[in-house]
A and B are shown apart, each in its own frame.
Chain A
Amino acid sequence: MKIMNKLLLSTFSVFILMGSMNPGLLYKSYTAAIVTKVIQDVKHKSSDSDWMETKVATQLKTKDLLSTGKRSVAVLKFLDGSILRVRENTTIMIFADKKDKGLIKNTKLENGKIVFEVNKQSDDDSFIITTPTAVATIRGTSGLVETLDNGSTLLIVETGVVEIESTGENKETKSVEAGTASIINPDGSIVSTESTEEQKKSFQNASKTNERVIQIQTNRGNFKLYYLDSE
């Protein structure tokens, strides 16, 4: 019986330890966000389901994946009003949980590009974006995170401040302020420079989610071609 008790206690302790190391494991299936805009090809997947077509008003729960195809965009709003614009060819996983009247949000960017716009945060809120090379704590209020082909992460802060911590071998921590762009390399180094005009333009284009249309008249009828106005 004593052995049984020890075994139960050990198992329980391991679960607690794992839970404390990875809060995601303890997260309930909490509804964290709602999709407010879909352009072209957007899919989502829960942990216990297959990929499904994402429509406007789709609810996203914690640990859900969302993926956009070519020339596709999804806009989602967290329950605290913060906005995430998911650009083309991007995959994200959402973790979120409620703490008192705040919302703890952690978005894992597997690949691609996202634009964040953080609503006014209370003391109980937090907004984290995790990429393969960085953990970015958004202190407010807008910017862009993109995974680059060489494995690095690009962070452009348009307004507010973002605290970044690299996850590579030479781990660094840095506070990135508005008007600054940072590259977080796989080796853990962080290179921050003033945002270039090209980077600023990239942010502005990525923030646009208006859909434009071209109507083509043919002898077989009229066709409408929808596209993003930033393209």
Chain B
Amino acid sequence: MKYLLSFAGFVLLFYQIGFAQFDNFNFSTNPSEVYENTAFTLSVELLQGEQVEQAVLFYRLFGTSEFLPIEMIIKGNTLISHFEAKNVIPPSIECYIKTINVSGIENIFPTLALETMNFIRIDVKKKIDQSGEIIILNPTQDEILTKDEFFLAFSILRLSERTDITKTKVLINDSDFSSLLQISDDLIFIPQNSFIELNTGANFFKILLFDNDGKLVRQYSSSFQIVTREQKEEFEKLKLALNGSVEINLANENLRSGNANYNRANVILNGNYGSIFSTANFYVTNEEKSNIQPQNRFGFQVYNDWFKLNLGDHFPVYPSLILSGKRVRGISSSLMFGFFNIQTTYGEITRKIEGDLLSVIKRDTVVLDPNLIPIDSSKYGQPFGLVRFGTFTRKLFALRPSFGSGENFQLGFTYLHSRDDEKSVEFSAKPKENLVLGTDIFFGFDQKRIQFNFQTAFSLMNKDIASGNITDATLDSLAKNDKLGIDPDILRKLRDIMGSFITVNQHLSPLNPQELPTLAAEGNFSINYFGNYLKGTYLYRGNDYTSFGQNYLRTDIKGFQFLDRISLFENRVFLSVSYERLNDNLQNTKITTTTFNNYEGSLSLYLRRDFPVVNFSYSNYDTKNDIEPNTLDSIKIVNIVNDNIKVINFSSSYDLDFYIKHRLTISYLNSTKKDFTYKDFSSSFNTFNFSAQNIWSSELISFFSTNFSSSKIKNRNFDYFSITLGGRLNLLENKLNNSASISIFTGDLKRNVLDLSSRYRFLNNLSAGLSLRFILNDSNIKNESIINFALRYEI
């Protein structure tokens, strides 16, 4: 069953690839269909050969213009992000990826996403209260049973009336047992001891439902494990379950940027002992180098209902203003008693990378250069050196006690301290230190249909702690000159008190605390009744707010957001509207204030199961500052902003039964940016996709997709057209899975991509796969190839 699921995943992956191929990367989600409030994983496969050192996913939820960051897990040329259930909100999530390669060069995927508004778009489907679903009562997924214990039972309580239950088919390990089905009202079952063909080990079953015309309308599959009575007794005695996988991956990439070999191994282990669960993840790659941030990953997690411990690489989740989406290599633990909880994290967020001494400089030939630092003259002969800066080890400590289970109430207090270890590298400068204090509160009523969330944080940042705390002499000198008008003893006391939390010197900010530049706050109120979800948010983030646990937070912004999502006609129509008004320049640090006025609307139609699913959305973003277009002020005119972006998106999918089953998808995106200033950074982008998947049988699937993309930025056009044709064929009783596809690009992007892939299952839990990709570029660019071999063993 695992292999069937793996194969299904494999098929879906290619299905996704077929429809989600941009010019230089592919993306897919797991599961392939994303539903609201359900966690999912986004995988992005980069087609370029550059080694990525750091990757951050920026995602935007409907109704907000801000892109929130999540640091991505890098596995070779695949970047992975896990979306928490609370961030999966209909109708869609838009995202782009920023990578930094080993040379320090930043790339954005999709290319020019911010200019063209052509983001990765993940449609989030609305969950429709299980209506139309069957409910499997026995056996549960992966349940361990003896042959004698096995029986199959499922409920059709919620099923649509157009299903003809007498036509239901049940396949167990591909054998048809439909004749054994017994029906009792809404219960359908096959009694115990009806089977003699169950395998020891993994077994799977499939339930196929048909309508009155005999057309297949739904299918469900699940798996269970058959063991001997002795094995089960042993299992129950130990109450220990262990599963996982070992995967070895060898790849050769011969790309225009160079030739490289990659060797990667990934071990994942999941276990539980009673109600205690654990997971371990070890990923090692030959890309690990001391002059870049870590590429290997080691993580171990153990948890139960009230306790959680993470060791190694992990992503702790604290209030989003303070620590979220940041990889920490260290330890986190949580104790959750309900009335009182405590969460703590300690670890490294940046690994040291030694800098380089480029040249030594004599005292009398010192020049003004930002890369000039004092060096050890006894070691290098001269007191100064020109260097390429290294990176300090940066460690982080966070603590959050909270009160209340979070069901109806929770009050939390967060303390975060992060500091560069100035002794960790020799050639660098300006080690930094950061302190953040925050509080958050949550109220939820009527099963969280009414919610109120508020969080606030105040940060202190020292931009250079190399010189340590300010000295008594300096304080006396300040007092003597009456620069501050404060008694030096009070200053000394203040320094001593604050100095136990953060280094106090002239590099400490905020310098103007009365204007709250390092304060950030966010509050939202939501109500969810009668299919109508209303949410209002207010946010404020000072221009100097900094948390090392949340590097990419948009600062210098305040305003409100309003969102309304309505379900109509028994959850067949979903309407979403939002309005957002934000402005910057909160501390008057800019010469002008920019106002952002954004509104969006979205309509999703799930009219009938045999009708196409239709999504339509419209977004309008106005950005304008208060500089007059005819001003003669040369500084002001450079900063003038006045633009409007309109985005129209339409997509539809339809399962068509015409001789065989076809899955058809069509999508169109148009974005137009109009720049009303003299700069004329106007742009437009259009893309149209059509794809068809044809399911000939469970062994043979073919697919076809076509894409037209046209962009125009500052009167420069970039247009291309692509066609992809492919198929998948399973042979030898599904032991051998093959797929092949060819993509032809014409226009301004000229290349052909050929993908061949094969996977053979030697044993139930051992398989090997080989995939080849050939990229045939335009005549003046070198052709490229990627060869990948994978060996997988499942425990």
Chain A: residues with CB nearer than 8 A to chain B?
30-31, 34, 36, 55-57, 59, 77, 79-81, 98, 101-103, 119-120, 122-123, 139-140, 160-161, 177-179, 194, 210-213, 229
CB distance from A229 to the nearest CB of B (A): 7
Given A57-B151, A178-B405; A101-B138 close (CB under 8 Å): no
Residues of A within 8 A of B192 (CB): 55-57
* B 182-196 binary contact with A (CB < 8 Å = 1; else 0): 001111010110000
Q: Cβ of B376 < 8 Å from any Cβ of A?
A: no
Q: State A229–B158 Cα separation when bound (angstroms).
A: 35
* Cα–Cα distance between A101 and B133 once the two chains are bound (Å): 10
B158 touches A56 (CB 8 A): no
A122–B184 contact, CB under 8 A? no
Most buried by B among A81, A161, A179, A229: A81
Given contacts A77-B137, A101-B157, A122-B129, A31 and B186 within 8 Å (CB-CB): yes
* Contact pattern, B 229-269, Cβ under 8 Å of A = 1, otherwise 0: 00001001101000000000000000000000000000000
In the assembled complex, the Cα of A179 lies from the Cα of B129 at a distance in Å of 27
* Shortest beta-carbon distance from B305 to chain A in Å: 9
Instruction: Give A206 Cβ to nearest chain B Cβ, in Å.
Output: 14
Q: Is B131 part of the binding interface, using a Cβ–Cβ cutoff of 8 Å?
A: yes
Chain B residues in 8 Å Cβ range of A102: 157
| B138 contacts A79, C-beta separation under 8 Å | no
Q: B472 an interface residue at 8 Å Cβ cutoff?
A: no
A160 to chain B, nearest CB (A): 8
Query: What's the Cα separation between A103 and B137 when bound, in Å?
Result: 15
Q: Select A101's contact among B153, B158, B338, beta carbons within 8 Å.
A: B158
Question: In the complex, what distance in Å separates the CA atom of A213 from the CA atom of B233?
Answer: 7
CB atoms of B155 and A81 under 8 A apart: yes
User: In the complex, how many angstroms separate the beta carbon of B134 from the nearest chain A beta carbon?
Assistant: 10
List the 3 closest A-B pairs by CB distance, nearest first: A79-B155, A31-B185, A31-B184
Determine if B130 is an interface residue (Cβ-Cβ < 8 Å): yes
Residue interface bits B345-362, CB-to-A below 8 A is 1, else 0? 000000000000000000
Q: Which of B130, B191, B408 has the most CB of A within 10 A?
A: B130
Contacts of B153 in A (CB 8 A): 34, 36, 57, 77
Do B408 and A57 touch across chains, with their CB atoms under 8 A apart? no
| Contact among B129, B151, B339, B408 with A123 in the assembled complex (CB-CB below 8 Å) | B129
B191–A57 CB distance below 8 A:
yes
C-alpha gap A57/B188 in the complex (Å): 11
Bin the interface of chain B by size.
20 to 34
Contact B187 A59 (CB under 8 A): yes
B-side contacts of A56, CB under 8 Å: 149, 151, 192
How distant is the Cα of A210 from the Cα of B238 in the complex, in angstroms? 12
B754 within 8 A of A: no
Given contacts A31-B185, A80-B157, contact A210 B236 (CB under 8 A): yes
Given A31-B185, A34-B137, 16 more pairs with CB closer than 8 A: A30-B185, A34-B153, A36-B153, A57-B138, A57-B151, A79-B186, A80-B155, A80-B157, A81-B137, A98-B157, A98-B186, A102-B157, A120-B130, A122-B158, A211-B236, A212-B236
Residues of B contacting A81 with CB < 8 Å? 135, 137, 155
CA distance A119 to B407 in the complex (A): 18
Most central of A101, A123, A178, A212 by chain B CB within 10 Å: A101
The docked-state distance in angstroms from the alpha carbon of A84 to that of B675 is 64
A132 to B145, CA, bound (A): 38
A76: shortest Cβ distance to chain B, in Å?
Answer: 10
The answer on a CB contact under 8 Å between A36 and B137 is yes
Roughly how many angstroms separate A77 CA and B138 CA in the complex, as a whole number?
A: 9
Chain A contacts for B155, CB-based, 8 A: 79-81
Compute how far the CA of A81 lies from the CA of B138 in the bound complex, rounded to whole angstroms: 10
Q: Is A101 touching B184 in the complex (CB atoms < 8 A)?
A: no
Q: CA–CA, A55 to B193, complex, Å?
A: 12
Known contacts A34-B189, A103-B157: does B236 contact A229 (CB below 8 Å)?
yes
Alpha-carbon distance between A140 and B449 when the two chains are bound, in angstroms: 14
B447 close to A (CB within 8 Å): yes
Establish whether residues B237 and A212, one from each chain, have CB atoms under 8 Å apart when the complex forms.
yes
User: Which residues of the partner chain B approach A80 to less than 8 Å between Cβ atoms?
Assistant: 135, 155, 157-158
Give Cα distance in the complex from A83 to B138, angstroms.
12
Nearest opposing residue in chain A for B143, CB measure? A36
Q: In the docked arrangement, what's the CA distance between A56 and B152, Å?
A: 11
B232 CB, nearest partner CB in chain A, Å: 9
Cβ-defined contact, A79 with B151, below 8 A: no
Q: Can you show 11 pairs from A to B with CB atoms below 8 A apart?
A: A31-B186, A31-B187, A56-B151, A57-B138, A79-B186, A98-B186, A101-B158, A102-B157, A103-B157, A122-B130, A211-B236
CB distance from A32 to the nearest CB of B (A): 8
Mask, B156-197, CB within 8 Å of A = 1, is 011100000000000000000000000011110101100000
Bound Cα distance from A34 to B155, whole angstroms: 10
Report chain A residues within 8 Å CB of B233.
Answer: 213
Which of B129, B149, B159, B339 counts the most A-chain CB atoms under 10 A from its CB? B129
Residues in A with CB closer than 8 Å to B157 are 79-80, 98, 101-103
Q: When chains A and B are docked, how far (Å) is the Cα of A177 from the Cα of B404?
A: 12
CA distance A92 to B689 in the complex (A): 59
B353–chain A nearest beta-carbon distance, Å: 47
**Hey, which chain B residues are within 8 Å of A101, CB to CB?**
131, 157-159
Are B236 and A177 in contact, with the CB atoms below 8 A?
A: no
Q: B239 contacts A79, CB within 8 Å? A: no
Q: Are B158 and A36 in contact (CB under 8 A)?
A: no
B239 engages A210 (CB within 8 Å): yes
Q: Could you say which residues of chain A place their CB within 8 Å of the CB of B158?
A: 80, 101, 122
* B129 x A140 contact (CB < 8 A): no
Q: Using Cβ atoms and an 8 Å threshold, which residues of chain B touch A103?
A: 157
Q: Which of B529-567 contact A (CB under 8 A)?
A: none
Q: Knowing A77-B138, A211-B236, say if A179 contacts B338 (CB, 8 Å).
A: yes
